[in-house]
Amino acid sequence: MSNRLKTGLILLTIAFLLGCILVQMFTQTLKSEITTLPDGYHNVLIRVPTTFEFCGEQVPLYDEEVKESFDKELYINVFRHSSTSLIIKRSEKFFPIIEQILREEEVPEDMKYIAVIESGLENVRSFAGADGYWQFMEETAKEFDLEISKEVDERFHIEKSTRAACKYLKRSYKKFGNWTLVAASYNRGMGGMNAALRNQNAISYYDVALNNETARYIYRALAFKEIMQHPEKYGFVIPKELRYPPVKYRKIPLDTTINDISALAVKYGMSYKTLKYHNPWLLMNKLTFDKKDLKNKKEYILLVPQNPPMPHSNVLAQESLQMQKMLDSILHEEDTVIDIQDVK
């Protein structure tokens, strides 16, 4: 074998070995990138519970369609991470209020998840005209004794809107005798839900073909119940101190016309914006009582936080005052005063 041939074979062998090494290094790097997760990321394994209840009623998870629908909503809301995290944070503030009212009204506690899927526990407005924590339409809200006017909208009042929701749910329960159907009727309406059952010869939510929104409605409630009862299981590790805490209030009765609510806010040591944040049912900077209201001894309750934050305007005013004092002090110092004669 000639020297040139030997040299060629050696070079080919070296190139082959180098190629193998490079391929192995690339494969290891790629594998590492795929399996190494950033800090704080939770690789969540989602598995539908073997048994589950809603309002004390068994969910028929032996039905594969039911199981898949539950699984779908779990996946959607677990991996909608920022939105679900914020709902968990808000629940620390609002669930105690909602749960107490549900107990007082003898409505199952699981109905709090209806408020979760309706509004995310926020005072939101929908394009359809439904407003507040429980997303009441104006006509329905008035039917269940919520006041709506130019100055007041009690759909944005957490306590009063929850009471109104309880009235609806109890009336629906008298009709259906089943809390799962009651919850579904909150979305579809009592008449719509009743028609669907009658037309399909069914008595269970899980047996009725419905429009897409109502067909998903209960499964969304189930998913949030499972996630919010076991947040760490699904990667939501949110310490108590990072959640939004309940607020301690003084309750101030209002029984006469107030022409400037912002002045009232100043009286209680807060900004108008802060007062509105804690009393979102107030729509304007005034509250009017007519003769009929006064005769009937009508009254509103204003929630005033026990420790409201100092208005930033006050901070700026104090800073401006200090700045003015400093400037005045500088200008009146003898060694800073320049005599015009000296300049000449």
Instruction: Pull the structure tokens for residue 300.
Output: 């509103």
From CA 221, how far away is CA 55, in angstroms rounded?
Answer: 11
Q: Name the token pair of 260.
A: 């400037």
The stretch 59-75 carries a mean pLDDT of 97
Report the range of poorest mean pLDDT among 26-35, 63-72, 145-154: 26-35
Residues 268-294, mean pLDDT to the nearest whole number: 94
For the cut 50, the answer to whether the pLDDT of residue 66 exceeds it is yes
Those residues whose C-beta lies under 8 Å from the C-beta of residue 259, and which sit 6 or more positions away, are 286
* pLDDT exceeds cutoff 60 at 69: yes
Phi-psi region of 57 (alpha: psi -120 to 50; beta: other; left: phi over 0): beta
The pLDDT tens digits for 77-86 are 999 989 999 9
Among the ranges given (39-53, 161-175, 191-205), the one the predictor scored with the smallest mean pLDDT: 39-53
Write down the pLDDT at residue 250: 94
One-letter amino acid identity for 156? F
> Which of the two residues, 336 and 260, has the higher pLDDT score?
260
* 236 has a pLDDT exceeding 80: yes
Provide the 8-state DSSP code for 204: S
- The helix (H) or strand (E) run that includes residue 301 is strand 300-305
Specify whether the CB–CB gap between 211 and 267 falls below 8 A.
no
Average predicted confidence (pLDDT) for the chain: 87
DSSP alpha helix (H) spans, 79-208:
81-104, 112-119, 138-143, 158-176, 179-188, 190-199
> Does residue 112 come out as left (phi exceeding 0), alpha (psi in the -120 to 50 range) or beta?
alpha
Which pLDDT band, with edges at 50, 70 and 90, does 343 fall under?
Answer: very low
pLDDT at 128: 85
- Confidence category of residue 36, pLDDT binned at 50, 70, 90: very low
CA separation for the pair 191, 252 (Å, rounded): 41
Structure confidence by residue, pLDDT tens digits, 108-128: 999 999 999 999 999 998 888
218/15: higher pLDDT? 218
The region of weakest confidence among 28-42, 48-62, 209-223 is 28-42
Antiparallel, parallel or unpaired: β 53-54 and 57-58: antiparallel
pLDDT greater than 60 at residue 42: no
Are the beta carbons of 67 and 49 closer than 8 angstroms?
A: no
What CATH architecture is 53-242? Orthogonal Bundle (1.10)
Query: Mean pLDDT over residues 161-180, rounded?
Result: 98
For residues 167 and 144, what is the distance between their CA atoms, to the nearest angstrom?
A: 7
**Are 117 and 83 in contact, with CB atoms under 8 Å apart?**
no
What integer pLDDT is reported at residue 110 of this predicted model?
Answer: 98
Closest CA to 186 of 147, 135, 225, 127: 135
Instruction: Please tell me the distance from the alpha carbon of residue 151 to that of residue 121, in angstroms, as a whole number.
Output: 23
pLDDT digits (tens, 9 = 90+) for 318-341: 666 666 666 666 666 654 444 444
Distance CA 126, CA 247 (A): 27
pLDDT band at residue 235 using 50, 70 and 90 as cut-offs: very high
Does position 213 have pLDDT exceeding 80, yes or no?
A: yes
How many C-alpha atoms does 279 have within 13 Å on its Cβ side?
31
List the domain boundaries for the chain.
53-242, 249-312
Q: For residue 230, is pLDDT > 50?
A: yes
- Asked whether the beta carbons of 46 and 226 are under 8 A apart, the reply is no
Whether 57 shows a pLDDT value over 80: the answer reads yes
Residue 331: what pLDDT?
A: 63
- Checking if the pLDDT of 153 tops 60, the result is yes
* 210 or 315: which leads in pLDDT: 210
Structure tokens at 21: 């090494």
- Smallest CA-to-CA distance from 162 within 99, 205, 220 is with 99
Q: What is the pLDDT of residue 33?
A: 45
